[in-house]
Amino acid sequence: MNKTKTILVTGSSGLIGSEVVTYFDNLGWQVVGIDNNMRMEFFGEKGDTRWNQARLLTQCKNFRHVELDIRDRAGVQSLLAQLKPQLLVHTAAQPSHDLAASIPYKDFDVNAGGTLNLLEAVRVHCPETIFVHLSTNKVYGDRPNVIPLVELQTRWDYADPQFANGINELMSIDQSKHSLFGASKVAADIFVQEYGRYFGIRTACFRGGCLTGPNHSGVELHGFLSYLTYCNVVGKPYIIYGYKGKQVRDNIHAYDVARAIQFFFEHPTCGAVYNLGGGRANSVSILEAFERCEQLTGKKMQYRYEDTARVGDHICYISDLSYIKKSLPGWDITKNIDTVFEEIIASWQARLA
């Protein structure tokens, strides 16, 4: 009889963490989640994820919650020594590049220090564990902004045909402005790669574009599409920061992120790096997102424009998915941009009812 597999998920009450919990619970795994609702400390009441934790405890059959801060080195060591999971999915983070500038120590301690605590606990106690890290496209800093662009009616796009499919994993992380958040995530990203290459642990960095979905507690400082749709649903003015509102993001549903993690578990390597977003088909500008929301809710988008871009912000970012599709055969996007909008809007309407 096969032993039931165990997965440890950090940030289990957040968007990606909760989707991973649900996904692997449905596969029959034993699921242990680490979360201490630090998102509420970062973003206030609107960032509170306890509602999502309660939902998981109610809906999932094989889920156990552990109240633990990943900065607690001894606590992390103790849990990994006891659990020895087959898979560790690390989604916990300080996720805002705007907020990081005001809390540089805390940002680094969570993003870089917390990641190192987990990696070292795996190395010492369970080196066979497969380690998946949710990194970010912000590790490239504003380097993508050097790509020549063309201004279209509702969006910016790449003028250079070599980027027709988006940005691949060969994009440099050097000679660019990252924000302090981007810098702390670079440190975590490199540590994850190094524990794969140096110690032979099977690790992967998924450099996410806009990760989204209906279970996101989106706020202005983090959660672009969730927060934008929230503003439309409640009639709150959305603030556009620079670039005429034509800045582009590719959006990937959390479910497709969870699927990619399963595929890596089935095809693990040491020190893997993948760009993971919605690709060109799921890309949308702020102006285009306004129009989609208005069509679905019947409400006119309220907004104002600030002619100052956020530090290190990308003008146009589309993930080239060629490498991840080649490396993880059979994986692809299953939820298109229309489905993404419909699910997020329905979720906000239900939560606010």
209 and 256 Cβ atoms separated by less than 8 Å:
no
| 306 DSSP β-pair partners | 241
- Nearest Cα neighbor of 14 from 44, 32, 38 is 38
Going by pLDDT thresholds of 50, 70 and 90, the confidence category of residue 2 is low
Kindly report, residue by residue over 231-254, the tens digit of the pLDDT.
999 999 999 999 999 999 999 999
Dmax over CA atoms of the chain, in Å, equals 63
Could you read off the pLDDT of 52-63 as tens digits, one per residue? 999 999 999 999
- C-alpha dihedral over 328, 207, 41, 43, to 10 degrees? -110
- Kindly write down the DSSP assignment for every residue of 285-318, as one continuous string: EHHHHHHHHHHHH--PPPEEEES-PPTT--SEE-
Q: Residue 307's pLDDT is what?
A: 93
The CATH class given to the 6-351 domain equals alpha beta
Give residue-wise pLDDT tens across range 249-281.
999 999 999 999 999 999 999 999 999 999 999
Cβ-Cβ contacts under 8 Å for 146 (sequence gap 6 or more): none
> pTM of whole model > 0.75?
yes
pLDDT of residue 3: 80
